[in-house]
Amino acid sequence: MLSYIIRRLLLLPVILMGVTLLIFCVFSLLSPMERLATYVHDPNTLKNSQAMGRLIEKYHLNDPFPLGYINWLKRIINFDLGWSQTANQSVKDAISQRFPVTLELVLYSIIPVILVGIWLGVLSAVHHNDMLDQTIRVTAIIGWSLPTFIFGLLVLFIFYGILGWFPPGRLSSWAQDIVYTSSNFHSYTHLITIDALLNGNIPIFLDALRHLVAPILTLSYISWAFLLRITRSSMLDTLRKDYIRTARAKGVDEHTVIHLHAQRNALIPVMTISGMMIIEMLGGVMITETIFTYPGLGFWTATAAQQLDYGSVISFALLFSSLMVIGNLVVDLSYALIDPRVRLE
């Protein structure tokens, strides 16, 4: 297994180089004047044509592609990811500020996604073609087909606008004041719920949780539908297996047949997919972040791509590619651990 892990990890720098080269290539196809748009949002800031030339020179927008890439590599080696025009801070700071926001949102969302998705998937499979199965499947299709921004706005409108229960943002103003400015509050992980517990501040913990409910509800509903379908399909397949028939024939009670024999085997593909879902969600839950004012990676990278902030885009690609490779590896390893029939080659 160790050699398998090493071989997979050795692929990481190759993949990262490939991804960054590709992105650099694409941006290089744009002329220096087009790339100038990242720095110039209004032509009146260019008082004369010399100003345009100076900006192009200042930001090396006319460097040939190989030179630009090599200079960028040199900076990366020194852990200098450059400046983000869209975040108005260094790319490193932008990622360290935004990644924990998205991570917190995703980690809390994935729990109901997995629990609800699996629960309903099993239920649906066990009651195959029943009214219950049909209801669950229809609900799943609605969740699958409903655009995130519509559902998110609906959640915001009902649970915040009308009921006033779950406000947008990460924290209330009073809590923000403490977290951001108080010397008594220490950010260890930048996951506010965890930090609040570590600081022993339960009101902030509860406030942060309260702000998480609506975006979690939005993300979960959209996502559990997919997991439900996979679980249902896998479960149906497992329930048709000979050993299940044998277990029933031996008089094992139905609850044990379903939850001890069938479910555990049916969940193997489901767990691998769940792992990949986490990684994909980390790559961008832009719409949810925008609606609920969660200043995470998704919104920032979408804006950066739109505004040709290639430094930010490349750095995000680096991060996401690394997560994908490592995530895939973890999923493959867990697959091998769960299913003894699987050999890592």
Partner 1 sequence: MKRNFLFIVFLCLTLMLFTSFSFAEIKNPDTIIDACIGGPESLDPHWAYDTSSGQVIYEMYDNLINYKGKSTAEFVPMLSTEVPSVENGLISEDGLTYTFPIRKEVKFHNGDILTPEDVVYSIKRALIFDRSGGPTWMFCEPLLGVYGIEDKVVEVYGLENYSDIFVDGDPRGELKPEKKYKEAMIKFFNDYIDKTVEVDGDKVIFHLAQAYAPFLNILAHSGNWSAIINKKWAIAQGAWDGQADNWWKYHDPEAEKDPLYAVENGTGPFVLKKWVPEEIIMLERFDDYWRGPAKIKNVQIKYISEYTTRKLMLQTGDADMMYVPLQYISEVEKIEGVIVEKNLPQLANVVSMFPWTINAEGNSYIGSGKLDGKGIPPDFFSDIHVRKGFSYLFPYDIFIKTVAKGMAIRNPGPIPKGIMGYTADPALFYPFSMEKAKAEFKLAWGGQLWEKGCKFTIFYNEGNDTRKAACDMLSTYAKMLNPKFNLEPVGVQWSTYLKAFLTEKLPIYTIGWQADYPDPHNWAPVYMGSKGDYAGFFGEAYREFARKNVDPLLEQGLKETDPVKRAVIYKELTQIAHDQAISIYAYQPGGTHAQRLYIGGWYYNPILPGLPACADFYYLTKGE
Hey, which bits of the chain come out as E strands? 83-84, 89-90
Between 94 and 270, CB nearer to partner 1:
94
The answer to whether the beta carbons of residues 212 and 107 sit under 8 Å apart is: no
Give dist(CA 238, CA 264) in Å, integer: 10
Between 89 and 322, CB nearer to partner 1:
89
Of the candidate residues 112, 143, 168, 269, the single one contacting partner 1 (CB under 8 A): 168
Length of the chain: 345
Whole-number minimum distance, CB 212 to partner 1, in Å? Answer: 11
Complete DSSP assignment for 201-264: -HHHHHHHHHHHHHHHHHHHHHHHHHHHHHHHHHHHHHHTSHHHHHHHHTT--HHHIIIIIIHH
Encoded tokens for 93: 């700071």
Encoded tokens for 179: 């977290």
Of the candidate residues 58, 255, 341, 343, the single one contacting partner 1 (CB under 8 A): 58
43 binds partner 1 (CB under 8 A): yes
Of the candidate residues 20, 23, 24, 55, the single one contacting partner 1 (CB under 8 A): 55
Whole-number minimum distance, CB 9 to partner 1, in Å? Answer: 32
Chain CA centroid to CA 273, Å: 14
The answer to whether the beta carbons of residues 305 and 269 sit under 8 Å apart is: no
Of the candidate residues 17, 107, 132, 153, the single one contacting partner 1 (CB under 8 A): 153
Residue 49, C-beta contacts closer than 8 angstroms, at least 6 positions apart:
none
227 binds partner 1 (CB under 8 A): no
Of the candidate residues 10, 78, 79, 88, the single one contacting partner 1 (CB under 8 A): 88
177 binds partner 1 (CB under 8 A): yes
120 binds partner 1 (CB under 8 A): no
Binding residues for partner 1 (CB under 8 A): 30-31, 33-41, 43-52, 54-55, 57-59, 82-83, 85-90, 93-94, 97, 153, 156-157, 160-161, 163-169, 172-174, 176-177, 180-181, 206-207, 210, 213, 290-293, 295, 299-300, 306-308
